[in-house]
């Protein structure tokens, strides 16, 4: 293979994509950087809307607000040295072309080096009533606040098994929401067991978590630990979430909005379309793309950040830098940087995430307990009972793509992003097979819906 | 060899051809086993457009097609399950002069074979199909054409076969087929060896290898059409709509999604297990939809797919007895039209295997036609990138 000549292409301007771009720019390249959003930042470090800017210190804390302002100014400068394409949706990859829709118009970008760094979203387990208006993901609750300067409700319950619970709750509390309850469904014993490993792998990140807990206590946010989520109640929208406390007591927490999440789920569709192989991670109990230690996943393909392996913001940035170094080496270029040190750091932070995952455990056991009438796939309105019936039927499938074909679960607009995890567990629990053998939903283009007329204005085909 | 592992007939391939053959054989009292590498109906039987199209078939194919349509029309009685059969009717329209000629030819063929066909031009065309772009010149409508859900049809037939006493072995990848003393022995990973005096090769895109093993090489190749589906929209379009030029085949499911397929088809990957849809074909399809049915410009495409289908150069399947080995039968190479004819393929083959005269003459589908040079279908050049 001859040396790459085209500008490197980076999908996703979150911490990983931006760090990769910075390293490439430093080496004298002008990468193409694109993001679905109008502004850089990604999800965890999503920029505040103009309406939120006057409250930046209140929202982020003074020290972090200053740091953020400095970082964003650097990012803005970086963007001027990239071929920056905001508002660009990458919907497919075929051979050496990235297919995008930018401002409603189709375009096709040829590449010989591609970094996919499209992040992660909340991992969801279906719950009776979870499709009622007023139910959000934890990430969605953060977007509402950061981008739309709005709370998801006036009486909010944040629930699940996720470290994001505490961050999202602290952000809502800082902006003045009084009526806020955190229901942490993870077991305190699990957290105690995982704590030592977490302290050892990333003491700084662990300390941040403790500070958040202390802050929530100080702000008087009610926190319920070790409870189980039973259902979301409401006629036309959320009116309460019913939980079972660790001592067995059932309580309906009155609220007008609920935010749910059970850790993170990597966005792997683009990587898969680009040819990455996925492997099952038994600790995180989920599928991740295979890469080398620098994030390389193919001749022309690199992966970084949470879409490669859950690791958080700092690991994302460092993995973006590592990928950039590997891309440069493949071009016969180098920049002075200590790749070995970066590798150790990324590894350490990802180990931290793995330990955190054993504290905030993915509640796989809940799939077996889901009432039959629970909607699993909200796009296509497929119920748990329908999926069970399909799996149990004679000549029925015990592989999730076949379950999808027969029940339509995962066939809709979201392409299984929201239901895929429940579907895997439900297929496994119904068939009695281990979850890794029932497979995962295969990626199919377009990874997001694209308007038919986008093709009309395109050329260069 | 225990009794449980010997059968009257072994069918390799759990697609619609294999399962229907198994069903009709089982109903006639034969002990049959269907061996499927993955899951029943997962390849072209499950990934096709779902069209039960009668218009536009070659004259020689009508007897088989019409016999099959009767089974689709009574599918629930036949299998005991629904496959979402919907007699929605089908429209061919032409937007070129060459297309107009072909459409008129097709209409004449259809009528000659007893199909009711309405031809619409000018004001009648606008009145009946007001959503079609003005570039449309003529349309023919066949009310007996229908659609079914390909994803659920094959499992339903497989279950009916099991209900009739047949055996289904899924996840059984056949690795070895031997023939000795009038008995076939089939072995594979994931299943114990089984024997039968009759073997039916219904292995779809992979049937060529098996035929070759028995000295019957055929020019089978694998390909798939680019397909996509839009988000669900209000249900407004009842008939399936085919541009006779092949650039757009479209239908709306009653739940609202528009399903698109179109030519040219794409050859399958070298591994023979997948057909990727190159993005430019999706974009061409989107352009065709926006051009022919402008009201759909704002609809959103949410998923593309294809399948691995077996094609033969004359675009006709191979159905019938093998010529080299007694007891060997073939049913493969649906060439993009296999879904509709599958019930009749199974029924005819079951008759043939039982020593009866099939209800439809299978001569046009004989494997022997490849012994000498055959004429490639005019469809072949039109419907593929390159062969």
What are the domain boundaries of chain B? 3-50+151-220+313-375, 90-143+226-306
CB contact under 8 A, A97 and B276: no
Interface check A292 vs B, CB under 8 A: no
Residue A403, in any domain of the structure = yes
Domain final residue, candidates A228, A262, A296: A262
Q: What pLDDT sits at residue A153?
A: 98
Residue with tokens 């039109």: B382
Residues A128 and A89 in one domain: no
Range of the domain at A94: 9-121+265-356
Domain boundary among A336, A356, A376: A356
- Shared domain for A270 and A243, answered yes or no, is no
Rounded Cα–Cα distance for residues A26 and A399 (Å): 47
For the record, the structure tokens of A73 come out as 């100014």
- Considering only the C-alpha atoms of chain B, give the largest distance between any 2 of them, rounded to a whole number of Å: 71
Q: Are residues A253 and A272 in the same domain?
A: no
Whether A258 and A130 map to the same domain: the answer is: yes
CA-based nearest distance B300→chain A, Å = 4
Q: In 3D, which of A284, A269, A350, A344 has the Cα closest to residue A312?
A: A350
Residues A33 and A159 in one domain: no
Residue A370, domain CATH? 1.10.10
For residue A87, give how far its alpha carbon lies from the nearest alpha carbon of chain B (Å): 17
Residue A456 lies in a domain: no
- Residue A393 contacts B where some CB pair is shorter than 8 Å: yes
Q: Which residue of A has its CA nearest to B39?
A: A397
A382 and A316 together in one domain: no
What is the CATH classification number for the domain harbouring A243? 3.50.50.60
**Beta carbons of B298 and A456 less than 8 Å apart:** no
d(CA A33, CA A12): 7
CATH superfamily for B3-50+151-220+313-375 is FAD/NAD(P)-binding domain (3.50.50.60)
Verify that A283 and A155 share a domain, yes or no.
no
Strand partners, A296: A302
Q: Which of A92, A97, A395 to probe the B interface (max B CBs under 10 A)?
A: A395
The C-alpha atoms of residue A413 and residue A380 are separated, in whole angstroms, by 9
A247 shares its domain with A145: yes
Same domain for A352 and A415, yes or no, is: no
What integer pLDDT is reported at residue A201 of this predicted model? Answer: 84
Establish if A442 belongs to a structural domain: no
Q: Answer yes or no: do A233 and A328 share one domain.
A: no
pLDDT score recorded for residue A459? 46
Q: What span, in angstroms and rounded, lies between the C-alpha atoms of B195 and B164?
A: 20
How distant is the Cα of B378 from the closest Cα of chain A, in angstroms?
A: 27
Tell me, yes or no, whether A74 lies in a domain: yes
Looking at the fold, whether A301 and A212 belong to one and the same domain comes out as no
Per-residue pLDDT of chain A (461 residues; tens, 9 = 90+): 578 899 999 999 999 999 999 999 999 999 999 999 999 999 999 999 999 999 999 999 888 999 999 999 999 999 999 999 999 999 999 999 999 999 999 999 999 999 999 999 999 999 999 999 999 999 999 999 999 999 999 999 999 999 999 999 999 999 999 999 999 999 988 888 888 888 888 888 889 889 999 999 999 999 999 999 999 999 999 999 999 999 999 999 999 999 999 999 999 999 999 999 999 999 999 999 999 999 999 999 999 999 999 888 999 999 999 999 999 999 999 877 888 999 999 999 888 888 888 899 999 999 999 999 999 999 999 999 999 999 999 888 789 999 999 999 999 999 999 999 999 999 999 999 999 999 999 999 999 999 999 998 644 33
The β-bridge relationship of strands A32-34 and A286-289 is unpaired
Looking at the domain that runs over B90-143+226-306, which CATH code has it been given? 3.30.9.10
Query: CA distances (Å), B177 to each of A307, B174, B185, B331, in order?
Result: 45, 8, 6, 17
CB B349 within 8 A of CB B329: yes
Q: Do A106 and A458 touch, CB atoms closer than 8 A?
A: yes
Same domain, A117 and A138: no
Helix H or strand E segment including A299: none
Phi first, then psi: give them for residue B269, nearest 5 degrees. Answer: -60, 165
Complex-level ipTM: 0.91
Q: Which residue is associated with the tokens 């980076």? A: A10
H-type helices in A136-187, by residue range? 138-148, 164-174
Distance from CA of A375 to the nearest CA of B (A): 17
- Asked whether residue A449 is domain-assigned, the answer is no
Residue A452 lies in a domain: no
Domain endpoint, select from A239, A262, A285: A262
pLDDT band at residue B291 using 50, 70 and 90 as cut-offs: very high
The B residues from 45 to 74 touching A (CB cutoff 8 Å) are: 46
Residues A309, A319: Cα–Cα separation, whole Å: 10
Total domains, chain A: 3
């Amino acid at each position: 293979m001859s040396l790459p000549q085209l500008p490197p292409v980076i999908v996703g301007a979150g911490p990983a994509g931006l760090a990769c771009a910075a390293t490439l720019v430093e080496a004298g390249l002008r990468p193409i950087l694109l993001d679905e959003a109008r502004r850089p930042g990604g999800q965890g470090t999503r920029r505040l809307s103009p309406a939120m800017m006057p409250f930046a210190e209140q929202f982020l804390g003074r020290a972090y607000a200053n740091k953020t302002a400095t970082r964003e100014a650097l990012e803005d400068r970086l963007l001027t040295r990239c071929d920056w394409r905001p508002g660009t949706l990458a919907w497919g990859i075929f051979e050496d072309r990235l297919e995008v829709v930018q401002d409603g118009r189709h375009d096709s970008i040829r590449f010989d080096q591609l970094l996919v760094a499209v992040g992660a979203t909340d991992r969801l387990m279906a719950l009776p009533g979870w499709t009622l208006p007023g139910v959000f993901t934890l990430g969605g609750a953060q977007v509402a606040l950061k981008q739309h300067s709005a709370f998801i409700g006036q009486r909010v319950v944040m629930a699940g098994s996720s470290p994001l619970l505490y961050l999202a709750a602290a952000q809502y509390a800082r902006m003045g929401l009084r009526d806020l309850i955190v229901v942490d469904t993870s077991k305190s014993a699990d957290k105690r067991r995982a704590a030592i490993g977490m302290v050892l792998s990333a003491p700084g990140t662990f300390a941040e978590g403790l500070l958040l807990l202390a802050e929530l206590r100080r702000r008087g946010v009610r926190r319920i630990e070790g409870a189980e989520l039973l259902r979301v109640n409401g006629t036309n929208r959320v009116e309460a979430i019913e939980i079972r406390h660790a001592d067995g007591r059932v309580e309906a927490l009155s609220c007008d909005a609920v935010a749910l999440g059970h850790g993170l789920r990597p966005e792997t569709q683009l990587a898969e379309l680009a040819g990455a192989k996925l492997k099952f991670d038994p600790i995180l109990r989920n599928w991740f793309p295979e890469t080398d230690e620098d994030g390389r996943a193919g001749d022309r393909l690199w992966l970084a950040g949470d879409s490669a392996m859950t690791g958080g913001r700092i690991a994302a940035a460092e993995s973006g830098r590592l990928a950039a170094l590997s891309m440069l080496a493949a071009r016969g270029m180098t920049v002075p940087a200590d790749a070995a040190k970066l590798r150790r750091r990324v590894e350490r932070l990802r180990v931290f995430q793995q330990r955190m995952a054993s504290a905030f455990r993915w509640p796989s056991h809940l799939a077996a307990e889901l009432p039959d009438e629970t909607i699993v796939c909200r796009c296509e309105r497929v119920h748990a009972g329908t999926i069970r019936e399909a799996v149990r039927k004679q000549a029925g499938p015990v592989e999730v793509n076949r379950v999808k074909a027969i029940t339509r679960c995962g066939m809709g607009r979201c392409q299984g992003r929201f239901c895929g995890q429940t579907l895997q567990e439900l297929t496994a629990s119904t068939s009695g097979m281990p979850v890794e053998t029932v497979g995962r939903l295969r990626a199919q283009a377009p990874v997001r819906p694209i308007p038919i007329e986008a093709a009309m204005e395109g050329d260069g085909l | 060899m225990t009794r449980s592992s010997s059968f009257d007939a072994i069918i390799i391939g759990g697609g619609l051809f294999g399962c229907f053959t198994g069903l009709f054989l089982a109903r006639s009292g034969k002990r049959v086993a269907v061996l499927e590498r993955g899951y029943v109906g997962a390849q072209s039987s499950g990934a096709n457009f779902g069209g039960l199209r009668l218009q536009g078939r070659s004259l020689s194919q009508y007897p088989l097609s019409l016999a099959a349509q009767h089974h689709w029309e009574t599918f629930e009685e036949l299998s005991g399950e629904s496959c979402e059969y919907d007699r929605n009717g089908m429209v061919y329209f032409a937007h070129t002069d060459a297309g107009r000629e072909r459409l008129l030819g097709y209409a004449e063929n259809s009528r000659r074979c007893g199909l009711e066909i309405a031809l619409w031009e000018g004001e009648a065309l606008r009145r009946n199909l007001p959503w079609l772009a003005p570039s449309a010149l003529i349309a023919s409508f066949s009310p007996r054409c229908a659609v079914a859900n390909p994803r659920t049809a094959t499992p339903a037939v497989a279950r009916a076969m099991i209900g009739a006493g047949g055996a289904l072995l899924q996840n059984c990848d056949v690795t070895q087929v031997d023939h000795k003393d009038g008995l076939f022995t089939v072995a594979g990973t994931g299943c114990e060896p089984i024997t039968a005096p009759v073997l039916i090769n219904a292995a779809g895109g992979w049937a060529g290898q098996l035929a070759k093993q028995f000295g019957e090489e055929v020019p089978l190749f694998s390909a798939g059409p680019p397909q996509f589906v839009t988000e669900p929209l209000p249900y407004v379009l009842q008939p399936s709509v085919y541009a006779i030029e092949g650039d757009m085949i479209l239908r709306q499911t009653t739940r609202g999604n528009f399903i698109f397929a179109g030519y040219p088809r794409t050859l399958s990957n070298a591994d023979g297990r997948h057909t990727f849809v190159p993005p430019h074909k999706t974009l061409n399809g989107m352009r065709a939809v926006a051009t022919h049915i402008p009201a759909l410009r704002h609809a959103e495409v949410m998923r593309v797919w294809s399948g691995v289908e077996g094609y033969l150069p004359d675009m006709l399947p191979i159905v019938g007895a093998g010529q080299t080995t007694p007891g060997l039968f073939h049913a493969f190479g649906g060439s993009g039209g296999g879904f509709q004819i599958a019930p009749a393929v199974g029924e005819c083959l079951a008759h043939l295997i039982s020593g009866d005269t099939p209800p439809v003459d299978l001569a046009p589908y004989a494997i022997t036609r490849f012994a000498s040079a055959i004429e490639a279908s005019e469809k072949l050049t039109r419907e593929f990138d390159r062969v």
